[in-house]
């Protein structure tokens, strides 16, 4: 049987063969439109009380809560891997969680002690302090609650106090993650009044009322306490124009950087924000996204290591200037090899 198949006329290509640019790794690297580096990554870290204490999180395999001394050592590893910043989240002991969230502005709280210890030991790494009340409240909400209603202005007052003690403790960036109206402007005015004009604000400007936060709430101890939901103050995931209005408002109030959260299901928002405002734009690859990759990889459904890097590059391609991800240390080390 003849193997001389007839050759079809390919003249319609006019010499254009896109596969030439894909034929080897060296040329794919040379023409890559998007590049991911360790400097694009921010490592979220959960802090607990104690010394030499590490506790695992069942819904986030591979992620641990760390006592402050271990967090300091982790910060050194991050610095050595080229990661520019950490985002800290405290797991406040239950006996300190109250309906008024007053532990949030205790200058000796877990968050402030962690900020101070890391800044003292690793001054060259940036520290991003989360500002919201779910880590301090007894009901797991990001705001103060009265008769089932989430109070806006009263919550902002507490957040302002929290931001000030965090700045004094060494936070380089204040990151309000609640979605209360007017909180960015109130925090900016308070920081400036206290001579923290250089302290940055990274606002969670487009934070959605999402189901993808479940493992995070386990990590900070708010999940089992949460009464109700957060739909009256976080964005409806059916909306994107509304998110742009929120971003515009936060920028007008003094935000230096804005964030979209969650990440992968909301990359259209990242692209819209970056195109519309041309400001430093970040996204958070949240706990549920992390868990999906880990569990799917463990089940053999996907190549876990490949999925980590592909997902992170997707954030960059969509327009992110930086990505908050629990894969940060691993990814930074792989990129540095």
**Tens digits of residue pLDDT in 295-309:** 999 999 999 999 999
What is the pLDDT at residue 227? 75
Selected residue with higher pLDDT from 52 and 337: 52
Phi, psi of 43 (to 5 degrees): -100, 110
Show the domain range for 82: 35-336
What is the pLDDT at residue 14? 76
Q: In the chain, what are the helix, strand and coil shares in percent, each to the nearest 5?
A: 45, 20, 35
CB atoms under 10 Å from CB of 219, counted, come to 25
Looking only at the bridges linking them, the beta strands covering 64-67 and 54-56 are antiparallel
Q: Give which of 314, 264, 260, 318 is closest to 289, Cα–Cα.
A: 264
Total domains, the chain: 1
pTM (2 decimals)? 0.93
Quick one: CA dihedral 317, 321, 327, 328, positive or negative? positive
Question: 155: domain CATH number?
Answer: 3.20.20.70
**What is the rounded average pLDDT of the residues 95-101?**
94
DSSP calls for 196-221: -TT-EEEEEEEEB--GGGHHHHHHHT
Q: Which residues contact 254 (CB under 8 A, 6 or more apart)?
A: 184, 185, 188, 201
169 falls within a domain = yes
The label of the residue with tokens 């969670």 reads 204
Would you place residue 191 in the very low, low, confident or very high pLDDT band (cuts 50, 70, 90)?
A: very high
**What is the rounded average pLDDT of the residues 200-217?**
92
179 falls within a domain = yes
- Give the rounded percent of residues in the chain with a pLDDT score beyond 70: 96
Would you place residue 87 in the very low, low, confident or very high pLDDT band (cuts 50, 70, 90)?
A: very high
- Residues 10-27: tens digit of each pLDDT: 666 677 888 889 999 989
What is the pLDDT at residue 228? 77
CA distance linking residue 262 with residue 215, whole number of Å: 13
Quick one: CA dihedral 320, 127, 327, 57, positive or negative? negative
- Residues 132-167: tens digit of each pLDDT: 999 999 988 999 999 989 999 999 999 999 999 999
13 falls within a domain = no
Report the catalytic residues. 207, 261
Phi, psi of 328 (to 5 degrees): -55, -50
What is the pLDDT at residue 251? 98
The CA–CA distances, whole Å, from 283 to 112, 176, 257 equal 24, 14, 11
What is the pLDDT at residue 136? 95
Q: Over 70: is that where the pLDDT of 212 sits? A: yes
Would you place residue 226 in the very low, low, confident or very high pLDDT band (cuts 50, 70, 90)?
A: confident
**What is the rounded average pLDDT of the residues 219-237?**
83
Q: Give which of 286, 25, 318 is closest to 130, Cα–Cα.
A: 286
22 falls within a domain = no
**Dihedral of the CA atoms 96, 99, 104, 106 (nearest 10)?**
-60
310 falls within a domain = yes
What is the pLDDT at residue 215? 86
What is the pLDDT at residue 164? 98
Selected residue with higher pLDDT from 269 and 11: 269
CA distance linking residue 148 with residue 261, whole number of Å: 25
Here the tokens at position 103 are: 């532990």
What is the pLDDT at residue 217? 80
115 falls within a domain = yes
Extract long-range pairs of 11-20: CB within 8 Å, 24+ residues apart.
Answer: none
CA distance linking residue 50 with residue 64, whole number of Å: 14
26 falls within a domain = no
Q: Specify whether the CB–CB gap between 202 and 255 falls below 8 A.
A: yes
218 falls within a domain = yes
- Lowest model confidence (mean pLDDT) among 30-34, 199-203, 222-226, 282-286: 222-226
CA distance linking residue 208 with residue 205, whole number of Å: 9
Selected residue with higher pLDDT from 226 and 18: 18
Would you place residue 1 in the very low, low, confident or very high pLDDT band (cuts 50, 70, 90)?
A: low
**What is the rounded average pLDDT of the residues 201-219?**
91
CA distance linking residue 132 with residue 88, whole number of Å: 12
- Residues 46-68: tens digit of each pLDDT: 999 999 999 999 999 999 999 99
């Amino acid at each position: 049987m003849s193997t001389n198949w007839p050759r079809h006329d390919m003249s319609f290509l006019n010499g254009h063969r896109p596969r030439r640019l894909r034929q080897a790794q060296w040329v794919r690297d040379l023409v890559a439109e998007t590049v991911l580096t360790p400097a694009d990554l921010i490592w979220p870290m959960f802090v607990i009380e104690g010394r030499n204490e590490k506790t695992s999180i069942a819904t986030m395999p591979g992620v641990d809560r760390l006592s402050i001394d271990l967090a300091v050592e982790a910060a050194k590893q991050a610095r050595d891997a080229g990661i520019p910043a950490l985002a800290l989240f405290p797991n406040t002991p239950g006996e300190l969680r109250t309906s008024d969230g007053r532990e949030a502005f205790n200058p000796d709280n877990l968050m402030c002690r962690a900020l101070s210890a890391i800044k003292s030991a690793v001054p060259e790494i940036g520290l991003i302090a989360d500002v919201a009340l779910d880590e301090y409240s007894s009901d797991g909400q990001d705001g103060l609650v009265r008769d089932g209603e989430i109070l806006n202005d009263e919550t902002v007052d507490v957040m302002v106090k929290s931001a000030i003690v965090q700045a004094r403790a060494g936070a380089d960036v204040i990151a309000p993650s609640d979605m209360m109206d007017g909180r960015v402007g109130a925090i900016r005015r308070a920081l400036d009044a206290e001579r923290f004009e250089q302290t940055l604000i990274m606002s969670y400007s487009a934070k959605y009322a999402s189901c993808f936060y479940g493992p995070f709430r386990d990590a900070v101890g708010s999940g089992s306490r949460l009464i109700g939901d957060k739909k009256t103050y976080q964005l409806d995931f059916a909306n994107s124009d509304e998110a742009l209005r929120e971003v515009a408002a936060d920028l007008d109030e003094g935000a230096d950087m804005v964030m979209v959260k969650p990440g992968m299901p909301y990359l259209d928002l990242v692209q819209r924000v970056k195109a519309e405002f041309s400001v430093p734009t970040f996204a958070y690859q949240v706990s549920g996204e992390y868990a999906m990759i880990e569990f799917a990889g463990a089940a053999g459904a996907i190549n876990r290591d490949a999925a980590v890097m592909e997902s992170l590059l997707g954030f960059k391609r969509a327009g992110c200037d930086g990505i908050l991800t629990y894969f940060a240390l691993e990814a930074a080390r792989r990129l540095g090899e």
